[in-house]
Amino acid sequence: MCMTLGKRSGKVGLVGTGMVGTSFAYALTQRSLANELILVDADQARAEGEAMDLNHGIPFVRPMRIRAGDYADLTGADLVVVAAGANQRPGETRLDLLAKNAAIFREIIPKVLAASDDSVIVIATNPVDILTYISAEIAGQTSQRVIGSGTILDTARFRYMLGEHYGVDARSVHAYIIGEHGDSELAVWSLANIAGVRLADFVGANGQGYDQQTLDGIFEQTRGAAYEIIKRKRATYYAIGLGLLAIADAVLRNQHTVLTVSSPMIGQYGVSNIAISLPTIIGRSGIEEVLDLPLSPDEIAGFQQSAQLLQENLASLG
């Protein structure tokens, strides 16, 4: 599935300068990944203001060019992050956003493709799985370069909460959330481990041992985290901004990193015709390989149910 790797331009595009998009942009300026960042938004003044604000911090970081532009200015970009669309409101599920954001994406994605026909496109807008699938369908045979942020944030939340529970660095926790980025997602308990030790056998430095009821509670907190944050501050953006940065890092540095991102399925666990999250190798060409995990029968069934829910919602668009 890999494309031939061309010379990198060091150019990144961002479509949508709301809180998620600008959190990514802010993180990008500090990582020294790009030479140029183009900000595109239906609200041109907002994009210009964000560019000004970010540029005023350049003396503190590695030099790069940041400017507001339009879709034509995305030409030659290595990576385009799409974070445009309506926001999730308190009490609203990600799938409630479907109809309005699907319509927005059917306008945005052709413009991105027309401007830069070999960029890797990262979708951050919710419901991210369905919007990733719609975007990949529009992109056609080059759909391996369309990546949804998927459950990258859910997995990060899960690792953080497990690390807090066991008293270990979250980076030492190896556990995945797969499926929909939403209410039907599931934890891969059968493979979860800390430093190679399965959770059933692990005892933390704080004396915490195995208790599945407690672990199930951690998963419920993970799954409901966005709702709790939205209830308190109306939106989530810092952590997903860093998640998008991790995807950008994997693409721009051709790192072949494994991340739980969303991509169109081609028969994995009997699932096709929808985008959904599984651990996936990401590099310069975008999606390099979706990993075939040794899931338990219950996990496979849960994954299939999650995919079916997304397919039903996709079908509701007509």
How far apart, in whole angstroms, are the C-alpha atoms of residue 21 and residue 240?
9
Give the residue from 6, 183, 189, 219 showing the smallest Cα distance to 95: 183
- Spatial CB neighbours of 278, under 8 Å, sequence gap ≥ 6: 178, 260, 263, 268, 290, 291, 293
Positive or negative, the CA dihedral 236, 32, 152, 218 is negative
181 is a catalytic site residue = yes
**Catalytic one of 56, 165, 174, 181:** 181
| In the block, residue with structure tokens 């059968």 | 190
Residues annotated catalytic, as ranges: 181
